Amino acid sequence: MTRTTEPMPRLGKGTRRNTLTLVIVLGAASLGVVYMHRENYAANAVMMVALVFSLIVVFFVLERLTRQ
């Protein structure tokens, strides 16, 4: 019984473009939040930490999806 192990089809440039647009949208949203709460530095710090954490999570999820 011989099985040919074909490589999984890699997700191409479309996913990379989607990742880039997602990052740009998140960055624009974070800039909007920062400009909205410019006086409140605590809210700024919390929002930036949350944004960085969500970006890291998104990149890990996309790495997992493209690696499958």
Alpha-carbon distance 42 to 46, whole Å?
A: 6
| CA distances (Å), origin 2, targets 5, 6, 8, 62, 67 | 9, 12, 18, 33, 25
> Is residue 28 within 8 Å of residue 10, measured between CB atoms?
no
In a domain, 3, yes or no: no
For the beta carbon of residue 46, count every other beta carbon within 10 angstroms.
13
pLDDT at 7: 57
In a domain, 54, yes or no: yes
Tell me how many domains the chain contains.
1
The boundaries of the domain holding residue 40 are: 13-67
Per-residue pLDDT of the chain (68 residues; tens, 9 = 90+): 455 555 555 555 666 667 777 777 777 777 777 676 667 777 777 777 887 888 788 878 877 877 76
Does the reported pTM lie above 0.75?
Answer: no
In a domain, 59, yes or no: yes
In a domain, 2, yes or no: no
In a domain, 24, yes or no: yes
